[in-house]
């Protein structure tokens, strides 16, 4: 499906689980006809069980409910959790189930990393927040900082059509034809853009690069896993050299230490052209958002790293709306002011000879990575019905007992 700009939408920014989960659950409670969910992670914690309850209730009152989880991100759903959903009428599928060998999970490449919720063809949620309790502040120091968007208006029809096509390709069943109202709801022009390994290999990155290339005043990007391709880095450096204020908000307290190490390899190369780098140090940053020139913004699942840009299945909203962009910018400015430290170039540079050698290796890797990624194993992914996963889990549990 080719992405296109759609006018007449209302877009609301949701920050962290405290805003995201209540909005999702309220929307599902109000569903009368259909709920479609795609998520990388669904855990059996307090958030997962609350979603479970809402979906069971919806299915029992006759709502068509389709849920797809990723097999690597959601590997441990138990038989009770699955069976109760299926018994209520929820159609649960797993994208590429991930098996363990000696306690290690394999199959990290080419995952279904999207986070989408569509309710009654009228409301959609797109972002980076999974269904897990670590997106709530009461989880503790490991709670993640993240964002999503709630959108209403004609673009929801585009998002629903995409999700329905995924369901149809998985098992040949097409959800019942529905006639949903898609009247104009607000002032925002919205683009629903996806990345896959068939037709849309670099769509999300292309929209980032186009916006950066045309920026005239400011670029503010907050991204959890920052190790982008050579072309995107080049556009950021060029923007800074022509006088655009370019700021990056990256992880200072990462959930995986390698994330910070990888991003730091790029610091000096960016800073020498005037890019300012801020590390968010309050808790792990999980957001994937950007604001450019007070009008263009994006919220979604795509990190700016090789997995998201070259391998995983991703989905972002790109929004043209000064009000939404202003709200997102204000939230990010608050992070920078209260919970970030600016990285000093001298501290990041290290030894000159070593830094130069390291930068050369890194940029050679980044320039070549898209070609290497295309050579990695590519196959038609499996979407496995939940009943089979439940049976497998039961067999494993019996064997383990």
Residues catalogued as catalytic: 113, 115, 120, 286, 288, 293
Picking from 149, 186, 151, 138, the residue whose alpha carbon sits closest to that of residue 19 is: 149
Dihedral sign (CA 163, 167, 172, 175): negative
C-alpha of 62 from chain center: 30
Q: What CA–CA distance (Å, rounded) separates 129 from 147? A: 7
> What interhelical angle do 46-60 and 79-88 show, nearest 10?
20
115 neighbors 41 (Cβ within 8 angstroms) = no
Residue 19: phi and psi, rounded to 5, are -100, -35
* Per-residue buried b or exposed e for 312-324, using 16+ beta carbons within 10 Å of the residue's own CB: bbbbbbbbbbeeb
Residues 6+ apart with CB under 8 A from 36: 65, 66, 67, 116, 117, 118, 160, 163, 164, 167, 175
Q: What CA–CA distance (Å, rounded) separates 115 from 210? A: 24
DSSP letter, residue 187: S
């Amino acid at each position: 499906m080719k992405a296109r700009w759609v006018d007449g939408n209302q877009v609301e920014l949701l920050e962290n689980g405290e805003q995201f989960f209540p909005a999702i659950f309220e929307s599902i409670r109000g569903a009368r006809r259909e709920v479609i969910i795609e998520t990388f992670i669904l855990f059996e914690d307090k958030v997962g069980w609350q979603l479970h309850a809402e979906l069971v209730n919806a299915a029992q009152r006759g709502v068509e409910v389709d849920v797809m989880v990723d097999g690597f991100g959601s590997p441990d759903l138990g038989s009770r959790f699955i069976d109760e959903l299926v018994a209520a009428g929820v159609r649960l599928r797993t994208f590429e189930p991930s098996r363990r060998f000696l306690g290690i999970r394999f199959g990290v490449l080419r995952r279904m990393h999207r986070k989408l919720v569509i309710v009654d063809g009228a409301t959609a949620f797109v972002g980076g927040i999974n269904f897990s309790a670590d997106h709530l502040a009461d989880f503790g120091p490991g709670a993640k900082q993240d964002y999503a968007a709630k959108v209403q208006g004609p673009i929801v029809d585009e998002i629903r059509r995409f999700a329905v096509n995924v369901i149809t390709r998985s098992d040949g069943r097409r959800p019942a034809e529905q006639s949903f109202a898609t009247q104009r709801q607000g002032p925002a022009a919205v683009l629903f853009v996806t990345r896959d390994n068939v037709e849309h290999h670099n769509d999300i990155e292309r929209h980032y690069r186009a916006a950066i290339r045309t920026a005239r005043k400011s670029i503010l990007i907050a991204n959890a896993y920052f190790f982008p391709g050579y072309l995107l880095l080049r556009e950021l450096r060029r923007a800074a050299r022509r006088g655009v204020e370019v700021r990056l908000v990256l992880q200072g307290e990462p959930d995986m230490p390698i994330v910070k190490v990888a991003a730091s390899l790029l610091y000096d190369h960016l800073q020498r052209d005037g890019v300012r780098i801020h590390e968010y140090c309050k808790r792990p940053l999980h957001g994937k958002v950007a604001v450019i020139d007070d009008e263009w913004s994006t919220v979604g699942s795509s990190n700016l790293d090789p997995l998201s840009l070259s391998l995983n299945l991703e989905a972002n909203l790109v929004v043209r709306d000064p009000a939404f962009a202003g709200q997102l910018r204000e939230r990010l400015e608050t992070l920078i002011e209260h919970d970030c430290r600016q990285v000093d170039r001298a501290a990041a540079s290290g030894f000159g000879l070593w830094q130069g050698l390291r930068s050369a290796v890194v940029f050679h890797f980044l320039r070549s990575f898209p070609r290497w990624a295309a050579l990695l194993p590519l196959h038609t992914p499996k979407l496995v019905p939940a009943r089979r996963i439940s049976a497998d889990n039961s067999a494993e549990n019996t064997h383990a007992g």
